[in-house]
Amino acid sequence: MKARPRRGKTRTAAGLGHVFGAVAVLTILSGCVVANRAAVVEPVVLDWENGTFVLPLERYAMSWQEYWTVSHANRVLVARCLAERGFPSPLAEQNPADYPLHDTRTYGVWAPRVAESRGYNLPDAGYDEMGDAIAQLGPEWDRAEKRCSGETQSEKLPSMGIYTETELSLVDRGMDESYRALLASGVYRDEWEKWAGCITEAGLVPDPDRATLSPIIDFDGDAEVLIRQAIIDTACKERLGTMQRIVDFEAEVQSRFIARNEGALLRHQAEAREIVEKARTIITEGY
């Protein structure tokens, strides 16, 4: 099974009916043109510098930057409650624009620049420092924060990224469909075996779980060793052209899913955009 991040909250936001209405009109006007549109395979661009890419279905959900914006807005809501009780809110003091860009690891680390800079580690988001700052506030702050979090639950905005809600969205289901198709394909089998042979020749051992293209590594081992291993791993993927073939396959499957579900996906996209705008307003108003 694919390891996908599943973070999020139960949807509680209201007042988005006008979005659904507007998109519904567009869908009715377009009629069968939307329902029967031929699948158009959208090209997937690999950002080798940052190790990121966006699959076609992801354009109908919040980006990770937008997800963090919504998360920050919800922190601001809690911060307002804390401020009324005379407590600070270190989490709300962070700037969402400063949150580090995570590389896309759907199939493992794949960009040599990422491997050279941090191996298999995620970018430093300052969680340790923030945890230390919160720990110094003491148990009274903890109790107040829990109360405020509960009291503001009905105001909080839902996140509509990829696998960020408790229940799978239509976008999530499409992502699962394309990934299962990829794992069952000869394309993935061939690419996995070529990559596995390449890293084996260089002294690494591929993880037998073929749901990802990752070698067996000791995450608690020496940092420099891990970086060298990551460089070998990603150099093989780059030289063999592994990633482009894999993402192109998923893009083709997703494009067919989009053609079958475009009306509902457009409604999902419109709702997500509306929520992001609400989040930006909350952040601007502050606490």
In degrees and rounded to multiples of 5, residue 206 shows phi and psi of -70, 140
Between 278 and 41, residue with greater pLDDT: 278
- pLDDT attached to residue 67: 94
Residue 126 region by backbone torsions, left for phi larger than 0, else alpha for psi between -120 and 50, else beta:
left
| pLDDT, tens digit, 9 for 90 and up, residues 229-261 | 999 999 999 999 999 999 999 999 999 999 999
The CA distance from 188 to 211, in Å, is 10
Query: b/e map of 267-284 (b: 16 or more CB within 10 Å)?
Result: bbbbbbebbbebbbebbe
| pLDDT, tens digit, 9 for 90 and up, residues 167-197 | 999 999 999 999 999 999 999 999 999 999 9
| pLDDT, tens digit, 9 for 90 and up, residues 46-83 | 999 999 999 999 999 999 899 999 999 999 999 999 99
Q: Where are the domains of the chain?
A: 17-32+59-114+126-285
| pLDDT, tens digit, 9 for 90 and up, residues 13-30 | 333 333 334 434 344 344
- pLDDT attached to residue 58: 97
Range with the poorest average pLDDT among 2-16, 29-43, 181-195, 265-279: 2-16
The CA distance from 117 to 220, in Å, is 17
Q: Are 178 and 256 in contact (CB under 8 A)?
A: no
Entry pTM:
0.80
DSSP H helical ranges for the chain:
17-30, 32-35, 64-84, 112-118, 127-135, 138-151, 170-183, 186-201, 223-240, 242-285
Q: Are 233 and 109 in contact (CB under 8 A)?
A: yes
What's the pLDDT band for 159 if we cut at 50, 70, 90? Answer: very high
| pLDDT, tens digit, 9 for 90 and up, residues 120-155 | 998 876 666 788 888 889 999 999 999 999 999 999
In degrees and rounded to multiples of 5, residue 52 shows phi and psi of -125, 160
What's the pLDDT band for 97 if we cut at 50, 70, 90? Answer: confident
